[in-house]
Structure 1
Amino acid sequence: MTKQKRTVFYLSDRTGITAETLGHSLLTQFDGIEWETINVPFLDDLEKAKAVLMQINQAAGRDGYRPLVFSTLLKPEILSVIKQANCRVYDFFETFTHPVEEELHQSSVRKAGRSHGVEHHPSYFKRIAAINYVLAHDDGVNPKHLAEADIVLTGVSRSGKTPTCLYLGLQYGIAAANYPLTPDDMPVMRLPDVLENVKSKLFGLTLIPEQLHFIRQERRPDSQYASLAQCQREIQWQESLFRQCNIPYLDTTRISIEEISAIILNRCGLKRRLYG
């Protein structure tokens, strides 16, 4: 069966992060469609809008379907130009702002860039501090400072600790450290000494051996480190360790970084440190 091919545009007069995030979340609910994605940030004058109009019409002619346009454009005159194109526009501000204005009995300021700017200074600096902490405590670096962490992720090499820590710092302002479990730890069924002092902050990441094998093959092809047998031994050992030491852990095999982070916060009772 041939997949339907459609083009989706994310339009914004600033970064486009909001339009893309919300639009993508909606489109993931629809299977069997091959999407071509076009991001147009900083769409802030009429000349740019007219060029995008032409681009949308070209995509409609090529695909045989009108493109989907997700917009967070704030200038009515620019949005008006886009609506002249052969497309279906989903404008997030137009959809939600008026009902909120009615409820609050107040007009919105219609100022671009507020959600991703640095106007909320305490929140911005919390984010920077959290990211700095993550970078300074990656892969077991500075273990004597683990007590300062909000959470310490642990697991074998390439189990997703670093990207998850970075996401926790960037999106939630969480001071996340990570410490690797290595084959040298495997002869005994106990935590490395440095982790015993922060046991209450530990959270384990695991995955199926086949997935770990695939990931490690990309890094060190055909090595002992990447062999399926080695991956099976390490995963079996670490999951037994997690259970014996009562460390909560999560199988991340089929879960995105965003989902992993949200699950960790929920299970550990951690709260977002940003926007407060």
Structure 2
Amino acid sequence: MNPDQPGLVTRPVFYVSDGTGITAETIGHSLLTQFTGFRFQTDRISFVDDEEKARDAADRIRRAGVALGARPIVVNSCVDPALSGVLAESGALMLDVFAPFIEPLERELGTPRQSRVGQAHGLVDFETYHRRINAMNFALTHDDGIALEYEEADVILVAVSRAGKTPTCVYLALHYGIRAANYPLTDQDLETDRLPPRLRAYRRKLFGLTIDPDRLHQIRQERRPNSRYAQLDTCKREVASAEAMFQVERIPTLSTTNKSIEEISSKVLSTLGLQREMF
């Protein structure tokens, strides 16, 4: 799904939920990545927890379909079938996140579900919730080398600038409660193939990210057009030096070039043996 590729068919996609919509968006994104030849214009509609909001959402979805001349796709995680019915009046293709699982669970448990809005959020363990928030605060204060106190870190992602460190740290914090820091390799760090001194004490927590230099060039060009930082030669040199360091120091490494944040996070967790606590 390359939005910059010409000639792609545009389809409007909505992630709709009576909560935050993160579940619908995560599942929907995983589904859409299986299809090429389309440009998916995505939007999230959160907290659709009564009929009025559902009708407003349906109208918004309908108008998007008319504007783009294509039937919208809705990935829906509203638990109330009545709200889902209102959303369906938009004429969109409805993909219900819970539908494939409800009937088998009802048969197995011998009881029908209780479709009450917001009930799913009642399963929240507040101790776990606060751990997730603390992990998020940790990720933000230890982003891009802002803070270098890594004693409490569960993992430290190491990479050149714009290789995907920050979004992966945020994802690990929000979804797994993992205290993830990240360290950007500077020109000075890349002068040798040895770890920067400040990282050596935390070797067991390190995970290296690398990226195709051409892709890195594209990303940096968007951030700082025509700068030395964005030059392809600079990208090639930095990536080669970083990969050499990871190899010499035997740091586990993954290329982020064609990987989603979910895939990167899963690999980090499994490689370092970190316990998952999906929220």
Q: Does 1:108 align with 2:113?
A: yes
Query: What is the aligned partner in structure 2 of residue 159 from structure 1?
Result: 163
Task: Return 25-34 or 262-271, whichever deviates more.
Answer: 25-34
Q: 2:35 aligns with which of 14, 30, 38?
A: 30
Query: What is the aligned partner in structure 1 of residue 236 from structure 2?
Result: 232
Query: What is the aligned partner in structure 2 of residue 44 from structure 1?
Result: 49
Q: 1:208 aligns with which of 205, 208, 212?
A: 212
Query: What is the aligned partner in structure 2 of residue 11 from structure 1?
Result: 16
Query: Quick one: distance in 2 between partners of 1:158 and 1:36?
Result: 24
Q: 2:140 aligns with which of 106, 117, 135?
A: 135
Q: CA deviation at 1:100?
A: 0.7
Q: CA deviation at 1:254?
A: 2.0
Query: Quick one: distance in 2 between partners of 1:80 and 1:41?
Result: 17
Q: Is the 8 A contact 2:81 2:115 kept in 1?
A: no
Task: Return 101-110 or 52-61, whichever deviates more.
Answer: 52-61
Q: 2:191 aligns with which of 181, 187, 191?
A: 187
User: What letter corresponds to residue 270 of structure 1 in structure 2?
Assistant: L
Q: CA deviation at 1:245?
A: 1.0
5+ unaligned residues in a row in structure 2: which ranges?
A: 1-5
Q: Deviations over 1:57-79 (max 9, x none)?
A: 66666777654433223333333
Query: What is the aligned partner in structure 2 of residue 257 from structure 1?
Result: 261
Query: Quick one: distance in 2 between partners of 1:164 and 1:250?
Result: 12
Q: Report 1:258-273 matches (<5 A).
A: 258-273=262-277
Query: What is the aligned partner in structure 2 of residue 196 from structure 1?
Result: 200
Q: Is the 8 A contact 1:213 1:227 kept in 2?
A: yes
Query: Quick one: distance in 1 between partners of 2:131 and 2:164?
Result: 23
Provide closer, same or farther for how the CA distance between residues 121 and 254 of structure 1 changes in structure 2, counting only shifts above 3 A. Answer: same
Task: Return 114-123 or 96-105, whichever deviates more.
Answer: 114-123
Q: CA deviation at 1:248?
A: 1.0
Q: Does 1:122 align with 2:152?
A: no
Q: Deviations over 1:221-243 (max 9, x none)?
A: 43333332232222222211111
Q: CA deviation at 1:125?
A: 0.7
Query: Quick one: distance in 2 between partners of 1:52 and 1:24?
Result: 20
Query: Quick one: distance in 2 between partners of 1:226 and 1:68?
Result: 37
Tell me the SS of whatever aligns to 1:198. Answer: helix
Give the TM-score, by structure 1 length.
0.83
Provide closer, same or farther for how the CA distance between residues 12 and 184 of structure 1 changes in structure 2, counting only shifts above 3 A. Answer: closer
Provide closer, same or farther for how the CA distance between residues 226 and 120 of structure 1 changes in structure 2, counting only shifts above 3 A. Answer: same
Q: Superposition RMSD on alpha carbons, in Å? A: 3.0
Q: Deviations over 1:61-107 (max 9, x none)?
A: 67776544332233333333444554443333343222212212344
User: What letter corresponds to residue 162 of structure 1 in structure 2?
Assistant: T
Query: Quick one: distance in 1 between partners of 2:186 and 2:67?
Result: 53
Provide closer, same or farther for how the CA distance between residues 124 and 185 of structure 1 changes in structure 2, counting only shifts above 3 A. Answer: same
Q: Is the 8 A contact 2:175 2:277 kept in 1?
A: no
Q: CA deviation at 1:2?
A: 6.4
Give the TM-score, by structure 2 length.
0.82
Aligned pairs, number: 274
User: What letter corresponds to residue 165 of structure 1 in structure 2?
Assistant: C
Q: 1:69 aligns with which of 63, 70, 74?
A: 74
Higher Cα Rg: structure 1 or 2? 1
Task: Return 235-244 or 52-61, whichever deviates more.
Answer: 52-61
Q: CA deviation at 1:169?
A: 1.2
Q: Is the 8 A contact 2:9 2:37 kept in 1?
A: yes
